Structure 1
Amino acid sequence: MAPCILATESGKYPGVSLDSCKSKLCISVLEQKKPFASVTMSEDKPFEKKPFASVTMSEDKPFDFLRVLRDGIIAGGTAGIVVETVLYPIDTIKTRLQAAHGGSKIHWKGLYSGLAGNLAGVFPASAVFIGIYEPTKQKLLKLFPENLSAFAHLTAGAIGGAASSLIRVPTEVVKQRMQTRQFTSASGAVRLILAKEGFRGLYAGYSSFLLRDIPFDAIQFCIYEQLRIGYRVAAKRELIDPEIAVIGAFAGAITGAITTPLDVLKTRLMTQGSMKHYSGLLSCTHTIIKEEGLAALWKGIGPRVLWIGIGGSIFFGVLEKTKALLAHQNSSVDLKSDSLKQ
């Protein structure tokens, strides 16, 4: 920088032009202002591996919405099934703790009660969420400035969560009724809920579910994406599987702890059945605080943080692995297609 300044002021260093100095100065300033969670990575030194959900968008190929949608559905559904199967007992314990009024006894049997029926809903719900999240995220990353990439992740997470809630809520209602031993089979639960409470019974606690899950999905995926981008930039390489797992666990645990009160309200509204202890979200909040104290809103926080922390580790690990496998398959198909064209 010093020779550049002297050349412009006193005419020394005649071999250095003013225009080149200005150009170098601009480049230096721009390099110092790159944000931590940058969406784009260095173009001159690309990483050796490019994952399916790469932070950067390909410049030489058009955005293939249908392919991203398809791969997101497959990866999301696979990750959802694995997580739900492995962690279902912890989720059951958490639900029973939250549903218990006062000093009610907690049952420890039948921790896998309702798993089969729940998986039938988890797969499409997870598939819809990731199937919508991935293309939405990639489109928004092109629209938002680099230093506002977090808003793209937040928005995509909220949109994906809202869309998948149409499947997730009935699934959650049936699951939690079975976890609290109100029913012994998913089909029986659906039939009796429809008979006693109508179609609206399958969407009991829908408002509390949205209040919990839309912020949860948006925050969790934003934390995960930003940590992954930041770590990737700092390490100057692709993340390995254990690193992805740790980041996923951290994002899940933090988000799970923050949203525990909303989860308690959702559980109470979904498991009250036709008894109608609570008339709505505000009524539920007021009644719990009045009868059981403020601490009751944090019931089940231990199992919830453990469940979602481990779940985040498994979910994001399986998600990224599945997307990487699909990306490899897609690359092979593209290479064959290109060779046939030639």
Structure 2
Amino acid sequence: MDSLIAGGLSGAFEGFVTYPTEFVKTRSQFQAAGVKPSTSSPVDIIRSTIKLHGISGLYSGCSALVIGNALKAAVRFLSYDSFKKSLLDKDGKLTAPRSLLAGLGAGTTEAIFAVTPSETIKTKLIDDAKSASPRFRGLVHGTTLIIKEHGLSGLYSGLTPVIMRQAANSAVRFTTYSSLKQFVQGNSRPGQSLPPSISFAIGSVAGIVTVYSTMPLDVIKTRMQGLDARSQYRNSIHCAYRIFTEEGLTRFWKGTTPRLARLSMSGGIVFASYEQIMGVLGKFRDA
């Protein structure tokens, strides 16, 4: 239960703080091939969005992400802790391969139960917001229209790449974080909580490693959840094929800068806040 509460609170906080970078990343991934760098850069996207919709435009789809992030982080940490406990060796330690396996399980679980619906809604809201006259008037209205036009299955657009991305995300992030945490703790502080600054630094490094290793899956996921995805791509493999043949290999790393900014911050924020909340909950439980 502590993992559920701490994960949910840390996820919601991280989602709100870092949302503008997620908005810019998603918008940049929708840019057509051949668009001049000067018109598709993160700075230009921010300027054009503010010009059309004001500062609030950078938070289009934010509610979906914050709610989804809270649920995602809660499911992620709860499932990771569950997998981790079942994979501990006879000495009570979690080796890197077993941490990787626990991360894969946690990522798959969160993709099915939390990430795909919230990411689908968020992505469609951002895609719609780039027009001068958006159709969606907010989270509730947008979700209602998506379900009305595509059914409940419309909330699961891009399920396969989301599962692949989240499984890879969690596997890389948790393994990197756990390995670095064990290295920092050494033999002098096993099992003890780290200071927030150190947790933040380790979490940030884990976020950076995660970005570069999983970016292609994130691009495919975004394209598959766009408003016109059904008319453009038959499936995730066809989407990847078209991106590669029509736009080039480097297109799979489009949006790396804003995603790097978000995940390096999010990794630090989530792990640091999670460790602190778990500490507070532990004190209440022991009181």
TM-score range, shorter chain: 0.7 to 0.9
| Structure showing greater Rg | 1
Q: CA deviation at 1:108?
A: 2.5
The one-letter code matched in structure 2 to 1:259 is T
| CA contact 2:108–2:164 (8 Å) conserved in 1 | no
Question: Residues of 1 paired with 2:72 and 2:177: CA distance?
Answer: 20
Aligned partners of 1:129, 1:310: CA distance in 2, in Å? 18
Q: Sequence identity, in percent?
A: 30
Matched, 1:328 2:259: no
Q: Which amino acid aligns with 1:186?
A: L
User: What pairs with 1:232-311 in structure 2 (closer than 5 Å)?
Assistant: 232-233=185-186, 236=189, 238=192, 239-273=194-228, 275-311=230-266
Instruction: Compute the displacement of 1:116 (Å).
Output: 2.1
TM-superposed CA distance for 1:121, in Å, is: 2.5
Following the alignment from structure 2 to structure 1, what is the Cα–Cα distance between the partners of residues 66 and 198? Answer: 28
- Equivalent-residue separation in structure 1 for 2:65 and 2:28 (angstroms): 19
Q: Which has the higher helix share?
A: 2
Structure 2 spans left out of the alignment, 5+ residues: 51-56
Corresponding residue pairs, total: 262
Deviation at 1:207, TM superposition (A): 0.4
The aligned residue for residue 119 of structure 1 is 66
TM-score by length of 2: 0.85
Structure 1 residue runs without a partner (length 5+): 1-69, 333-342
Say whether the 8 Å CA contact 2:29–2:219 is kept in structure 1: yes
Deviations 1:123-145 (A, max 9, x none): 22221221121132123214588
What code does the residue aligned with 1:115 have?
A: C
Distance in 1 of aligned mates of 2:91 and 2:26: 39
Judge conservation of contact 2:173–2:210 (CA < 8 Å) in 1.
Answer: yes
Deviations 1:78-116 (A, max 9, x none): 110110010000000000001111228644331111212
2:49 aligns to what?
108
Matched, 1:189 2:142: yes
**Contact kept in structure 2, 1:196 and 1:274, CA below 8 Å:** no
Amino acid at match of 2:100: L
* TM-score, structure 1 as length reference: 0.72
Deviates most, 226-235 or 100-109: 100-109
Counterpart of 1:200, as a letter, is S
Mapping 1:43-122, distance limit 5 Å = 70-102=1-33, 103=35, 106=45, 107-109=48-50, 110-122=57-69
SS at match of 1:271: coil
What is the aligned-residue RMSD (CA, Å)? Answer: 2.0
| C-alpha contact 1:81 1:123 (8 A) present in aligned 2 | yes
Deviation at 1:195, TM superposition (A): 2.1
Moved more, 168-177 or 270-279: 270-279
Instruction: Between 189-198 and 75-84, report the one with greater CA deviation.
Output: 189-198
Equivalent AA in structure 2 for residue 279 of structure 1: R
CA–CA distance in structure 1, aligned partners of residues 97 and 22 of structure 2: 30
Secondary structure of 1:259's partner? helix
